[in-house]
Amino acid sequence: MKSFAVAAGLTLASLLMSSTALAATATKGDFGALKDGTKIEAVELKNSKGVSAKVIAYGATLQSLIVPDKTGKADDIVIGYDTIDGYVDTPQYLGVTVGRYANRIALGKFSLDGKEYTLATNNNGNHLHGGLKGWDKVVWKVEEVKSGPTASVTLSYVSPDGEEGYPGTVKVFVTYALSDANDLTISYKATTDKPTVVNLTNHSLFNLGGVSSGRSALDATLQLEADSYLPTTATAIPTGEIASVKGTPFDFTTPALISSKVRDARHPQILVGLGIDHNYLVRGGLTKAPKLAVTLTDATSGRGLKILTTEPGVQMYTGNFLDGKIPGKGGQVTRMGDAVAFETQHYPDSPNRPEFPTTRLNPGQTYTQTTVHHIFVTQ
């Protein structure tokens, strides 16, 4: 009898473990093909709470993030495109992995060990998001797909020496992982064979009201764990000043509607960026474990998002250059303010600013970053 009871207990435990192991699934598929016939792989991560994320190999892109609202109605909360052509033909970086250097490098130039490197310039005479063909415009290799308590997909890319003007061959891995606790974690690793600079981010733009809602993302309430930000020149390069947010439209140290700040045209930095397109200095700086940086909530849908990161900065971008001319998901055009980005990263133009946290990567070192998007719903 004892042996039977033990066996029954083991069987029950096995069933429970099996049930837990299948709490989150990863399913491979495809997302069309490039004009040369190259098929684009897609992986959908899904948990038992009704949250799903689709990642495509082109640009290692977060193509969709489906989240139920407080009534149980699911909607996509990241803007993007329904077909691969949208991602190939447009320069808006929607949901992509940005590299080799996220954000801007002034005049497309920097020096390492006394040698000056000239990069491709693609934004008002500056280098932006990796150049003319950054990592958002290449097909990544799907390395591993896992289901289990956490579903995940790992993608890789090898950036050759000299690509867009950068020194060194860089091998990079990005992993998207979705847990049953509604955590979408993006982890990065990179190595190089020569001294270089690396600064990675994901460029998803969020609308917690839902892409199909037609509501402005600026109606959301935001709190940032940041007391200072980097003012910029007219071409979005940091001036070098680290400015307090206190008493400015950049102050989200306590919860506030984004619209209540971003429409304050009296502040010269709002005019410079046509809204907010600035890097915030996250309290705690560069850390080994992710710390809270962003809390975003939408009262109407009940959806909420907390972003935790190991990075020292968050570039907040209120969709200032979404011009309403390019149709996105469901044929909807995306306009200024329809979505907002929180790009976890090192600071812009760090290679030319020795006072900023370094983005230098040497042979034998490993670049790492972890950013967690915790999704929640309130009634």
Annotated binding site: 103-104, 277
Active-site residue, from 203, 278, 373, 374: 203
Is 267 in the active site? no
Active-site residue, from 41, 343, 346, 374: 343
Token representation of residue 340: 């907002």
Q: What is the 3-state secondary structure (H, E, C) of the chain?
A: CHHHHHHHHHHHHHHHHHHHHCCEEEEEEEEEECCCCCEEEEEEEEECCCCEEEEECECCEEEEEEEECCCCCEEECECCCCCHHHHHHCCCCCCCEECCECCEEHHHEEEECCEEEECCCCECCEEECCCCCCHHHCECEEEEEECECEEEEEEEEEECCCHHHCCCCEEEEEEEEEECCCEEEEEEEEEECCCEECECEECCEECCCCHHHCCCHHHCEEEECEEEECCECCCCCECCCCEECCCCCCCCCCCEECHHHHCCCCCHHHHHHCCCEEEEEECCCCCCCCEEEEEEECCCCCEEEEEEECCCEEEEECCCCCEEEEECHHHCEEECCCCEEEEEECCCCHHHCCCCCCCEECCCCCEEEEEEEEEEECC
Give the residue ranges of the annotated binding site for beta-D-galactose. 103-104, 277
Is 203 in the active site? yes
Count of residues making up the chain: 379
Please, what is the Cα angle at 206 between 205 and 207, to 5 degrees? 135
In whole angstroms, what is the distance from residue 248 CA to residue 273 CA?
14
Radius of gyration over alpha carbons of the chain, in Å?
21
Supply the residues annotated as catalytic. Answer: 203, 343
